Amino acid sequence: MPTFEYAARSTDGSVINGTADAADQGTLVRMLREKGLTPTAVRVGTGAAARQKKRRGKGGRVRLDDMVVFSQQMAVMIRAGLPLIEVLDILGEQTERRSLSNVVKEVERDVEAGSSLTEAMAKHPNVFNQFFLSMVRAGEASGMLDSILDQVATYMERMASLQRKIKSAIMYPAVVTLVAVGITIFLLVRVVPVFEDIFDGLGGDLPLPTMVTLEVSKVLQQQWWLILLVLVGIMVFFYNWRKTKSGRFTTDRFLLTMPIFGPLILKSSVAKFCRTLGTLIRSGVNILYALEITAKTANNAVIEAAVMKTRASIQAGESLTKPLAESEIFPPMVTRMIDVGEKTGALEGMLVKIADFYEDQVNAMVAGLTSLIEPLLIVFLGVVVGFIVISMFMPMFKMIELIG
């Protein structure tokens, strides 16, 4: 349990400084209030060792999990009645991610200088995206910043969980495929040449599979630099093409329609779309602005185009559903449920139900893909390695047959 340093005012106005152990800042604040004290400052850690540890912190970019913890802690302290400046000061000191800690301290300085929380956060788009900023703006306008931040934390926690599931589904076959390719290259470069020397001593014609394996081995040994150069060239070309509007749209559409992983990516994208739009509408964000933010945070050019077309449709006085259906990306069930929600005035609730359903679908698909891909990869590895082994032993079988 961490140790906190605190400063608080008693009922007679005197300042009391001390230390206490608590699970988190919110718990400590409640403990102090129960004693009749009003906390004015709460800081994590005591002593030089703790301060040194805080200074070091974690490196690297800010992750979604960091923002979940940040939102939860900020909501707890605001609900406990701490002033916003004090909340930012505490978060800036206790945040483990060094880059996020630096940003929070800059936000604190801007707020102290008279900026609103939204304006201060907007200066750091790499940390606070459009979704986060719009939610904070809605919270400031409604005076319910703590409740809005709770919604943000819940939303980002679900998105982080969804991302982890997608990554786990993709990483496993990627790692196994990489290992399979490594084993194959090792056999062709280190093992096959030994058999080649033996075959040269035997003389005679070699079977076709053996000749193919030997030729591939020679190419890998003699032209490896050319193969590597071609692969790097393809990667550079694809990377630059992906940056173009047409390249991004084409690759994103392929991702949504590719075999095996396409349905998984599509369902996760639909879940994210519905969860984002539903959360924004629930927080009181204007539907047009909510659609714009949802499009920008979709991370898929095809879905972004469909959502922006929907926004233009609403501006023209048309329905929300028609452009989504015309995009041929969203499943019919999604568009019909959104249509029902729009007509009944329960759009927010319907979007949440769709998001819950598709997140469950993603969970089931991840479990199914893991059990499906594993035997496929084993078969692939067995076929490749088996072909190499058999092709190497075929001349020996032929030699034994001739001797017999």
Tens of pLDDT, residues 50-86: 444 444 556 667 888 888 888 888 888 888 888 888 8
CA dihedral angle for residue 283, residue 284, residue 288, residue 292, rounded to 10 degrees: -20
Which pLDDT belongs to residue 353?
Answer: 92
Would you say 267 and 334 are in contact if contact means Cβ atoms under 8 Å apart? no
pLDDT of residue 163 exceeding 90, the answer is no
Tens of pLDDT, residues 242-299: 889 889 999 999 988 888 788 888 888 899 899 988 888 888 888 888 898 888 888 8
CATH 1.10.357 is the classification of domain 3-128: no
Concatenating the DSSP letter of every residue in 114-129 gives: T--HHHHHHT-TTTS-
Question: What pTM does this model have?
Answer: 0.69
Task: Tell me the two tokens of residue 400.
Answer: 């034994």
Domain boundary assignment for the chain: 3-128, 161-404
Q: At what angle do helices 98-112 and 84-94 cross, to 10 degrees?
A: 160
Domains 3-128 and 161-404 share a fold: yes
pLDDT of residue 356 exceeding 70, the answer is yes
Q: How sure is the predictor about 204, in pLDDT bands with cuts at 50, 70 and 90?
A: low
Tens of pLDDT, residues 320-330: 888 888 878 88
Q: At what angle do helices 347-403 and 332-344 cross, to 10 degrees?
A: 170
Which pLDDT belongs to residue 263?
Answer: 87
38-44 vs 3-9, strand pairing mode: antiparallel
According to DSSP, the residues that pair with 4 across neighbouring strands are: 20, 44
Q: Mean per-residue pLDDT for 187-200?
A: 80
Distance CA 121, CA 108 (A): 9
Task: Tell me the two tokens of residue 342.
Answer: 């729009």
Task: Give buried/exposed letters for 214-249 (b at 16+ CB in 10 A, else e).
Answer: beebeeeeeeeeeeeeeeeeeeeeeeeeeeeeebbe
Mean pLDDT of the chain: 82
CA 144 to chain centre: 28
Q: How sure is the predictor about 149, in pLDDT bands with cuts at 50, 70 and 90?
A: confident
The CATH T-level fold of domain 161-404 is Receptor-associated Protein (1.20.81)
